[in-house]
Structure 1
């Protein structure tokens, strides 16, 4: 290994020492002045630096990327473009997540990366440490970035977040969660009509044509935490930019309106077609003009806008990412899984 050190008069000398964790600590020494005393001082410092470098061995840098490999569930994962950055092995999120049985998407407009499967989703953004796991804030040790058109994320950190066992040795990251890739099916509709009275082909998706939103997963029953209590999630979360329009999936009457401690600004609509059944829209940032308790709304009508309100007194927002929570309830207020219905309606969007 070579460490570039310029000891010319007036230059800074920097020795970067890697310690455990994502951060790098540095020591700076000023090569100032002259004379034999200073020269002897620099000789001592240079010898110490070279000795320390020999003890440390190689310092990982992106230029050594070709030597890194990822093995997931016994299979070498190709196209991960693995490289070391700030002590973290970075990989392309798509092939890495898929090797563990998850899906991944990237929205270039919002720079948002989403990793998801049934009951789980993790959201990150290019250029920031901030991330959210099932609505809860977490922290990425290295900021994701784009390389050759691929979103690069810290592999060890992501694997642990996805529940996999991880080890690293001799340039190889090994991850395992028991996932086996299924054989591709043929002639299967990816979003078949659910066996549900709400699988009405005339119902519409809650976002209109042209709206930007991220991939979403079946989060029904997933664990949620608030105010010291754990409870099961009762709907589907669809991440979308703040202010994205939300429309009525079906026609009905507003029976609940205003602030809810958990749901924030929300609207509950009793369906015209199925009296005693309700569609629930939560975490809104605002309502469409003219709506109130008892108002009748038509399918495709604007209801409000995506936000992050809830989990506190009125006006609380920002405790989770902007998204629409969509739920379905029967006459006893028992939740019904909305995910398969949303996938079915997704091809039917209104134009505002």
Structure 2
């Protein structure tokens, strides 16, 4: 083969490798997230990396900081960020993790607790109308994967459709409900700061 032939062959092989690297083969799993306008993938390992907005179609700029707003007639402060949306809007994982607990409570209604892969954080989703089909404890989820639907369960109040999103810092050995509440707003709004 001539020198020109080797060069052409090398270019064809490189182009083929580049094409293969950009292409995904196989069928989609039922557990992968449909396109809902958010990037699906692993977030940065940094503690100050922004979280994905956990309600499909909601822009970061629309999120309002409701941390420590009065609740229960002023008897307690709000420990999370409320994200209003239409009933039934998909709720998606703000970060990857493992579904640690699916739970119904008086205040939170239908809830999901997802622990981060490093086990240092719990992502709390409350007032859900229901869970995504097949969601179960022990399941690993990816950022952007549907986990439920916006509702008004618990103490949200009939017709007050929203997701209550909470963030808890966990210590080794703590269970799903024992973490220290942290304001999730800066990470939801894209104004990252250390958690």
> Shorter-chain-normalised TM-score: which range?
0.5 to 0.7
Separation in structure 1 between the aligned mates of residue 63 and residue 76 of structure 2, nearest angstrom: 20
Long gaps (5+) in structure 1: 1-196, 312-316, 346-352
Q: Map 1:1-352 onto structure 2 (within 5 A).
A: 197-200=46-49, 203-208=51-56, 210=57, 215-225=62-72, 230-272=75-117, 274-311=118-155, 318-319=157-158, 321-331=160-170, 332-344=178-190
Long gaps (5+) in structure 2: 1-45, 171-177
What displacement does 1:286 show? 1.1
Describe the shift of the 1:334–1:289 C-alpha distance in structure 2 as closer, same or farther (beyond 3 A).
same
The structure whose Rg is larger is 1
Separation in structure 2 between the aligned mates of residue 214 and residue 305 of structure 1, nearest angstrom: 21
SS class of match (2:137): coil
Contact 2:169/2:179, CA 8 A, preserved across alignment: yes
SS class of match (1:266): strand
SS class of match (1:344): coil
How many positions carry a matched residue from both structures? 141
The CA RMSD measured in Å over matched residues stands at 2.7
Separation in structure 1 between the aligned mates of residue 132 and residue 120 of structure 2, nearest angstrom: 24
What displacement does 1:309 show? 0.4
Separation in structure 2 between the aligned mates of residue 343 and residue 326 of structure 1, nearest angstrom: 13
Describe the shift of the 1:278–1:303 C-alpha distance in structure 2 as closer, same or farther (beyond 3 A).
same
More strand by share: 1
Contact 1:213/1:241, CA 8 A, preserved across alignment: no
Separation in structure 1 between the aligned mates of residue 141 and residue 60 of structure 2, nearest angstrom: 23
Contact 1:211/1:245, CA 8 A, preserved across alignment: no
TM-score normalised to structure 2 length: 0.64
What displacement does 1:319 show? 3.7
What displacement does 1:330 show? 1.1
Separation in structure 2 between the aligned mates of residue 244 and residue 214 of structure 1, nearest angstrom: 18
What displacement does 1:291 show? 0.8
Separation in structure 2 between the aligned mates of residue 305 and residue 213 of structure 1, nearest angstrom: 19
Contact 2:55/2:163, CA 8 A, preserved across alignment: no
